Amino acid sequence: MVGTANNGRLRLAFSLVNGSQDLDLSSAPASNAGSECGGIEFTREDVEALVNEKMKYKNKFNYKERCENMMEYIKRLRLCIKWFQELEGEYAFEQEKLRNALELTERRCSEMEVALNNKEEELNLIILELRKSLASLQDKLAKEESEKKAAVDSLTKEKEARTSIERSQASLSEELEKVQGELDGANQRIASINDMYKLLQEYNSSLQLYNSKLQTDLDTAHETIKRGEKERSAIVENLHTLRGQHKSLQDQLMSSIASQDEVMKQKDALLNEVACLRMELHQTREDREHYQQQVQSLAAEVSKYKELATNSSELEEKCLSQGNQIQILHDQLAVAERKLQMSDMSIFETRNEFEGQKKLIEELQNRLEDAEFKLIEGEKLRKKLHNTILELKGNIRVFCRVRPQLPDDSSSNQAKVFSYPTSMEYLGRGIDMTQNAQKHSFTFDKVFMPDASQEEVFVEISQLVQSALDGYKVCIFAYGQTGSGKTYTMMGKPGQPDEKGLIPRSLEQIFQTKQALQPQGWRYEMQVSMLEIYNETIRDLLSTNKDASRIENGVAGKQYTIKHDANGNTQVSDLTIVDVQSSREVKYLLDRAAHSRSVGKTQMNEQSSRSHFVFTMRITGVNESTEQQVQGVLNLIDLAGSERLSKSGSTGDRLKETQAINKSLSSLADVIFALAKKEDHVPFRNSKLTYLLQPCLGGDSKTLMFVNISPEPSSAGESLCSLRFAARVNACEIGTPRRQLNMRTSESRLSYG
């Protein structure tokens, strides 16, 4: 019945404080040696055996034996009770000790935060100065590097120009020498040609004289021939006349014939001599033309050589000017080299200074990173301690999210309604609202500005979602006026993966963690249900019977009732419960529920949710290696938006829906006010919504509320009411969260608690 020390180790004690959780040796209180119980501890089996023990008697009429057995039993019960009382006292002492340690840690954290803030400001100033000096040094270095680059470019260009000029000078010198040699040869040829030209001129003049003489001789010979012909004709005429005197004149005739023959011979000789002279004259003319052509070509060569002489003088002048330019370039090159050496020295000094500044900046950046890391770690520790305090206090956590401006909003040109403090104490947690020139300040666990993404919002609640896998009851619900972004926060925008809401992201995380925990021996079973509360009537959104949830003439086709058991679990009768194995299956069920949910159009919202949507997942986990079992529940709720009839313009069915929504939200406010005042009676039964959320608002659940705010100035009144309601919710204490380690029975139903 009573377990004593065995081999120096105490048997594991069974705690009756929470009714289900065993105490391990690491969390056991200090030893109770010296008490009446000594080193005795009771296990769960001992207590159950002691409570369920039945007296056995040899003789039921032996009252003495019965009294002794009863006294012995009472003695053991008193011993057990005293042991529990001492254990409770030690736990109370340990709790007080932990509270003192927590307060001390909070003070240290606040002091550390102040010190980190001061250090961060100092480091920011130093970094600002260093950045300024770095920018100036970088500008100076860039300027010097550009000057160096320009000097190197100019030097390279000057070297290239010098090389090209030297090459051109060498080629010009060679060409000049060649031209000079050609000029000398041409001068010699010109001199020889001039001499030949003079000789040819003399020979030509002599030929001309000889030609004129031959011409005169020829003329005289022609005249002589003409005279001889005339004389012959005269002689022939005289011969006819003197034929009669033939005989007398025969001698004269013979003499005249002889003279005529001689004249004819002279004539033939003269003719031959004329032909020879003509041939010589023709040859002389051809030679003269040939020599004239040679003289013309030589004159052209002479003019060419004269031009070359003038060009050579120009080239000499050009070479002289280029030599002067080369000397100037040499001087400029020497100056540039000196400047380059000076710039290299200054660049080396600047580079050394830059390296020193760079090392200093790197050291300061490392110090800044260390400080930022310490700041982040301190912030994580602060959040962890803050969450621990909230869990110890049992407060409902509240996150505020401000919707960004939409294109259809009419307040784009008006003044901003909300502002956000920038001090370290309220950064990311405070929000200020201005209405009628009056400022209202609120502080929550987290405030998301309009530019916050869905991913940033989910990161803040991811650990809370993880608690459901650890065996806690978790409830997250979105509250706010219609059109403030509640459904977007919870469900996201369909078809856009980057804008998925909290429900899809939570499911993805749960199934990913489920896969990651399988190597550690954990196996999970998950069940899902989805319902809506429409006009104070529960509708099953996963029901395959379309007529089961239809309301005709104000009467539901199937009545669903809410029941709470003694362990704080909630059951909804006849509700469809689906076993799921992957996030894809849950997404299909979510799409199916979204098509079945009641949605309507009002003047304030094109797609207004006309019912409260409740998504519930029950998680049962078993560790095959440690045989530990956990049961967690995740409730994700999208409340219908509050609205004023004067703005929504609802009529008919929309009017009834609005009245039902406002009534249920008013009942929720009454419950919150009663919890805040710690009244004995909390009106959970005033509406189906509050009765369904009773374990979340008044039990041992981890509860978080999103208050969604519209930035429109026309909605400032509703926004202020929502913020005040959220502040009151944040101050409510609902109890300390407790892990569920109960065994899962085969007939267990889905719990909302």
Question: How far is the C-alpha of 395 from the C-alpha of 702, rounded, in Å?
Answer: 9
Residue 422 carries which side chain, given as an amino acid letter?
Answer: T
Buried b (16+ CB within 10 A) or exposed e, 215-238: eeebeebeeebeebeebbeebeeb
Question: How far is the C-alpha of 604 from the C-alpha of 484, rounded, in Å?
Answer: 10
> Who contacts 724 (Cβ-Cβ below 8 Å, separation ≥6)?
none
Report residue 213 as tokens: 């003489």
* Listed residue (322, 315, 317) closest to 176, CA to CA: 315
Beta strands 438-443; 473-480: pairing state: unpaired
Question: How far is the C-alpha of 152 from the C-alpha of 139, rounded, in Å?
Answer: 19
- Answer yes or no: is 8 a known binding residue: no
Backbone angles phi, psi at 22, to 5 degrees: -75, 150
Buried b (16+ CB within 10 A) or exposed e, 338-369: eebeebeeebeebeeebeebeeebeebeeebe
Residue 396: other Cβ atoms inside 10 A: 25
* Listed residue (270, 200, 186) closest to 228, CA to CA: 270
> Who contacts 570 (Cβ-Cβ below 8 Å, separation ≥6)?
562, 563, 564, 692, 694, 695, 751, 752, 753
| E-strand stretches of 425-503 | 430-435, 438-443, 446-448, 473-480
- Answer yes or no: is 482 a known binding residue: yes
Beta strands 702-709; 473-480: pairing state: parallel
Residue 367 carries which side chain, given as an amino acid letter?
Answer: R
The secondary structure element, H or E, covering residue 181 is helix 63-241
Report residue 592 as tokens: 């199916």
Residue 485: other Cβ atoms inside 10 A: 20
CA 50 to each of CA 32, 38, 58, 414: distance values in angstroms, whole numbers, following the listed order: 21, 19, 20, 75
CB 658 within 8 A of CB 643: yes
Residue 192, CB-side half-sphere exposure with 13 Å CA sphere: 6
CB 633 within 8 A of CB 474: yes
Backbone angles phi, psi at 316, to 5 degrees: -65, -45
CB 604 within 8 A of CB 406: no
What does R_g of the chain's alpha carbons equal in angstroms?
A: 63
What are the residue ranges of helices labelled H in 518-650?
583-596, 645-648
CB 39 within 8 A of CB 4: yes
- Answer yes or no: is 493 a known binding residue: no
* Listed residue (636, 692, 686) closest to 663, CA to CA: 686
Q: Report the phi/psi class of residue 372: left, alpha or beta, with left for phi > 0 and alpha for psi in -120 to 50.
A: alpha
- Measure the CA angle with vertex 586, ends 581 and 592; round to 5°: 140
Question: How far is the C-alpha of 129 from the C-alpha of 352, rounded, in Å?
Answer: 19
- Answer yes or no: is 485 a known binding residue: yes
Alpha-carbon torsion (423, 429, 434, 440), positive or negative? negative
Question: How far is the C-alpha of 160 from the C-alpha of 165, rounded, in Å?
Answer: 8
Question: How far is the C-alpha of 609 from the C-alpha of 147, rounded, in Å?
Answer: 69
Q: Report the first-to-last Cα separation within the chain, whole angstroms.
A: 36
| Residue with the two structure tokens 């005429």 | 237
List residues forming the annotated binding site for ATP.
480-487
List residues forming the annotated binding site.
480-487
